[in-house]
């Protein structure tokens, strides 16, 4: 007892030394495992990114994927009409909108339909990424009262394995195929302008009068794009000389999908023009397949000083689940019908277990 009492300080120092050593070793062990995990994560990320980048760069723009992958397209419905008005308005604008099922789909299509109805002589081509014709989309198109073509063209299963998927490309390719067939006679009643307009974008009505000036290929600014907040051709002395865009990545034409239009007679003169399955490069490679140079591009929107289209996006949300309380009756209230509409529109499901 006297020994421990006299050496209590030395014993305390020894215990603290061993504790400190153990704590330091444990910390070093955990840090080494943490950094090893981080290094492994970075390595796997680079491998995946390189794998997908090789996939993007290894596919030439004129490659016919229809022989290598299974593509499918079907016409669900169509409504045509004669041209209205006189002068510059007597050109069809073939407005191509790829879409897919989600809670925001129907309200976005309804909103877009109201814009398109205000612009005369617009033929709306809606292409769904789906294996079956959606009655909800068909209803929106019928109610719009405007000329339309409803297509389905699901993204080929071949691309499901890739991290970066070519979203919307199958629909645009199906629309191009339908348009070529529709325009094969190239009579004055069907010639016009091709434009790709997504269902979540916002369009000024001035855009449509600008589009009708297109003789071969035209370009114009798009707002709310990339880190710059805007994407646009650079115009000098009335000619396109370069591009302003925050993302280059070896693209020749730094332009957003909503930032260009093509005259249909010019499109028909380029039978090999196609939009390839190249994520992030669809616009550039499609324009390259048209075999154009900068001097062939017509700058619109007051020499690209005005913005008439914005790349807006609706807040994404999952399909909701309504918690229907026990004891609440649906037969004598509006809830039964409301629940059916919510299911039909893809807004929500009902959980009646509470």
Banded model confidence at residue 315, pLDDT cuts 50, 70, 90:
confident
- Of 240, 220, 241, 224, give the one whose Cα is nearest residue 232: 220
Q: 299 versus 58: which is more confidently predicted? A: 299
Q: What is the CATH number of domain 62-310?
A: 3.90.550.10
Catalytic-labelled residue, pool 283, 293, 295, 316: 283
- Using CA atoms, how far apart are residues 134 and 111, in angstroms rounded to an integer? 18
Mean pLDDT for 202-227 is 95
Per-residue model confidence (pLDDT) at position 161:
81
The per-residue pLDDT for 14 is 54
Q: According to the model, what pLDDT value does residue 57 have?
A: 37
Answer yes or no: is pLDDT of 285 > 90.
Answer: yes
Mean of per-residue pLDDT scores for the chain: 83
Domain boundaries, the chain: 2-55, 62-310, 320-351
Mean pLDDT of 70-93: 83
Which has more confidence, 185 or 73? 73
* pTM metric for this prediction: 0.78
Task: Say what the pLDDT of residue 354 is.
Answer: 47
Q: Which residues are annotated as part of the binding site? A: 200
pLDDT score for 62: 44
More confident residue, 343 or 135: 135
- pLDDT score recorded for residue 35: 62
* The pLDDT of residue 181 is above 60: yes
The answer to whether 137 and 164 are in contact (CB under 8 A) is: no
Instruction: List, as residue ranges, the binding site for Mn(2+).
Output: 200
Percent of the chain with pLDDT over 70: 74
Q: Are 205 and 309 in contact (CB under 8 A)?
A: no
* 128 catalytically annotated: no
Separation of CA 215 from chain center:
27
- Residues 241 and 234: beta-carbon distance below 8 Å: yes
Interatomic CA distance for residues 46 and 23, integer angstroms: 34
Q: Among residues 27, 141, 20, 31, which one has the least CA distance to residue 76?
A: 141
- For residue 16, the tally of other CB atoms under 10 A from its CB is 10
């Amino acid at each position: 007892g006297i020994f421990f009492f006299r050496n209590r300080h030395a014993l305390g120092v020894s215990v603290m030394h061993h504790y400190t050593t153990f704590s330091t070793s444990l910390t070093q062990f955990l840090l080494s495992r943490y950094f090893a995990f981080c290094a492994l994560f970075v390595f796997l990320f680079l491998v995946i990114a390189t794998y997908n980048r090789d996939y993007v760069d290894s596919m030439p723009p004129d490659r016919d994927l229809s022989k290598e992958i299974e593509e499918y397209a079907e016409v669900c419905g169509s409504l045509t009409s004669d041209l209205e008005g006189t002068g510059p308005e007597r050109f069809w604008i073939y407005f191509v909108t790829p879409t897919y099922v989600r809670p925001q789909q129907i309200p976005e299509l309804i909103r877009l339909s109201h814009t398109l109805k205000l612009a005369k002589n617009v033929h709306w081509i809606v292409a769904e990424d789906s294996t079956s014709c959606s009655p909800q989309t068909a209803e929106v198109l019928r109610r719009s009262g405007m000329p339309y073509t409803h297509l389905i063209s699901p993204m080929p299963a071949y691309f499901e394995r890739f991290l970066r998927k070519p979203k919307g490309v199958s629909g645009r390719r199906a629309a191009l195929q339908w348009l070529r067939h529709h325009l094969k006679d190239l009579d004055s009643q069907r010639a016009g302008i091709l434009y790709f307009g997504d269902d979540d974008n916002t369009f000024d009505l001035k855009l449509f009068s600008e589009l009708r000036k297109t003789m071969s290929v035209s370009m114009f600014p798009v707002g709310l794009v990339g880190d710059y907040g805007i994407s646009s051709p650079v115009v000098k002395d009335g000619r396109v000389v370069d591009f302003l865009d925050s993302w280059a990545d070896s693209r020749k034409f730094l332009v957003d999908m909503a930032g260009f239009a093509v005259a249909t007679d010019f499109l028909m003169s380029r039978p090999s023009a196609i939009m390839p399955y190249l994520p992030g490069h669809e616009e550039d490679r499609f324009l390259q397949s048209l075999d154009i140079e900068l001097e062939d591009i017509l700058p619109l929107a007051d020499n690209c000083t005005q913005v008439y289209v914005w790349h807006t996006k609706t807040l994404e949300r999952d399909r909701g689940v309504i918690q229907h309380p026990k004891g609440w009756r649906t037969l004598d209230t509006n809830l039964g019908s409301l629940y059916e509409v919510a299911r039909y529109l893809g807004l929500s499901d009902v959980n009646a277990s509470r």
